[in-house]
Amino acid sequence: MKKFSIIIFAFLLALAMTACGKSHYSHNEEALFDLGIEVTKTMQEMTYSDEYISLYSTIEFEDEIVKFQATDYDSPIAVYSVEIPNAKDVLSKLGSENIDDYDKLSDNLKEQLDHRVSLSSIISSINAQSGTNTMILCSILTATKYDKDVELDKSIAYLYVFEEGIPIAVTFTKSGYANGQFLLLNDSNSYEDISEIFNRYSCKVDKIK
């Protein structure tokens, strides 16, 4: 009987630990979501500040800025997680001619390359199809936030989709930074369309909200 009680106790303890793990994951997901919203709200403020934009460029963006301006960047209608591939996969999809050189790099240099060539490279490639001025504006309208309590095993991105505003991709790094970029998808905001676009770059997409 005593042995049976010990087994039951061990089972309940394992179950409790599993539950705690799930709770921690949910909390972490919620923390990332909230940090991402801080980024999207900051980017909304940027779109309405001529002074901020003028500090970065002498180009007039009167025609381009209008499509970025919206008041619902704090209220996404959908949120997707985007798994970020390593630099080799990204460079291969972007058509790098020297992709075989990646395997010749040390682990240290591979890590450096993975930091430099990430989701931002993919987003820039997609945004480039919307014209030079719009691409320049997208590079100006980026925002970064930091939360020391965010801990990740690897970087991940959330794509926030809005009813009025342009989608925003927020990349969360292992060190607690959240970097936001506008993503121009030509009104293709359904899960199927978004998945198809990112699958071209070996990115896995899951709907989380």
Run of H or E residues at 20: helix 2-47
Please name the residues in contact with 207: beta carbons below 8 A apart, sequence gap of 6 or more.
Answer: 78, 79, 80, 191
Strand partners, 177: 146
> Looking at residue 143, what is its pLDDT?
96
Q: Do 12 and 188 form a contact (C-beta atoms < 8 A)?
A: no
- Tell me how long the chain is: 209
Map out the domains of the chain as residue ranges: 25-207
Rounded to an integer, what distance in angstroms lies between the CA atom of residue 32 and that of residue 156?
10
For strand 143-146 and strand 177-182, is the pairing parallel, antiparallel, or unpaired?
A: antiparallel
CA dihedral 157, 103, 127, 196 (to 10 degrees): -70
| pLDDT digits 0-9 by tens, 11-20 | 333 333 333 3
Q: What is the pLDDT of residues 140-176, one digit of tens each?
A: 999 999 998 888 888 899 999 999 999 999 999 888 8
